[in-house]
Amino acid sequence: MNEITSKSNGLIKELKKLQQKKYRDQSQRYVIEGFHLVEEAVHTNQDLEHIFVNSRGLHEWQNWLHSQQLDYTFVSDAIFDTLTDAVTPQGILAVLHMKEIVVDLTQGKWLCLDQVQDPGNVGTMIRTADAAGFSGVILGKGTVDLFHPKVLRSMQGSHFHLPVIQQDLMEVCAQFEQANIPVYGTELNEQAVDYRQVVPTTHVALILGNEGQGVRLELLQRTTKNLYIPLFGKAESLNVGVAAGVLMYHFLEK
């Protein structure tokens, strides 16, 4: 066990910057907070650079850290709080290196997110894609950063289980078209089709859009069909995360 006692420590000052996207991108590192995420990172052989614990973390997780033969650094609560934005931190966090991800877009089931900006929604949809056995998730321009702390907490390690990439969705649609993979957008208008009328296929791409504006028109014009989920109560719409879950489970093979 190592120990850092000063907030002005060079490593602490450097890692604090990882709360900002530009520094995460520059250093290709990010922070995960909480025992479940750290445990999942260890079990899936992620590239961990540092593990930090405070007094609570030392009390609760020291035996586990020793059982995993992991090096870790003890810091005060005050120093720990500078590295996390969690309201009630669990006392353990880790710094990870980002992995380069290569995917094959000529097959599989893909969830595409167009300008989805709420971190909780993005994390929930990635977690649901993981649960539904999708091949991966593609974050289009304007979608919140995958390594935003709230996205990481919401998806609970699902990005360790399936590929999540950031790519221009217009380019992605062209690749799906070349591979003869049907692409379904989501839209509320007279031309859209009730999703229940579409037969699930082995390969498919679904596009979900911004919480307020939906999927951009230029993307909707590139799709195979655009779908809607019928509403039977008085609510005007579904949360985008809920809608994504309904559609992904519909497209599971029967």
Per-residue pLDDT tens digits for 38-60: 999 999 999 999 999 999 999 99
Cα(48)–Cα(29) distance, integer angstroms? 10
**Are 70 and 118 contained in the same domain?**
no
Q: 136-139 and 193-194 as β-strands: parallel, antiparallel, unpaired?
A: unpaired
Strand 136-139 versus strand 109-114 pairing type: parallel
Which SS3 state, helix, strand or coil, does residue 33 take? strand
Does a structural domain hold residue 59? yes
Residue range of the domain that includes 174: 109-250
Tell whether pTM > 0.85.
yes
Quick one: 136 and 243 in the same domain?
A: yes
Parts of the chain with a pLDDT under 50: none
- Distance, in Å, from the CA atom of 33 to the CA atom of 89, rounded to the nearest integer, reads 7
85/139 same-domain check: no
d(CA 138, CA 190): 27
pLDDT given at position 184: 97
Looking at residue 211, what is its pLDDT? Answer: 83
Domain match, 164 and 68 both: no
Residue 27 in tokens: 């250093």
Q: What is the pLDDT of residue 86?
A: 83
Q: Are residues 128 and 232 in the same domain?
A: yes
The answer as to whether 102 is a domain residue is: no
> Among residues 97, 126, 146, which one ends one of the domains?
97
pLDDT for the residue 254: 55
Same domain flag for 73 and 120? no
pLDDT given at position 201: 92
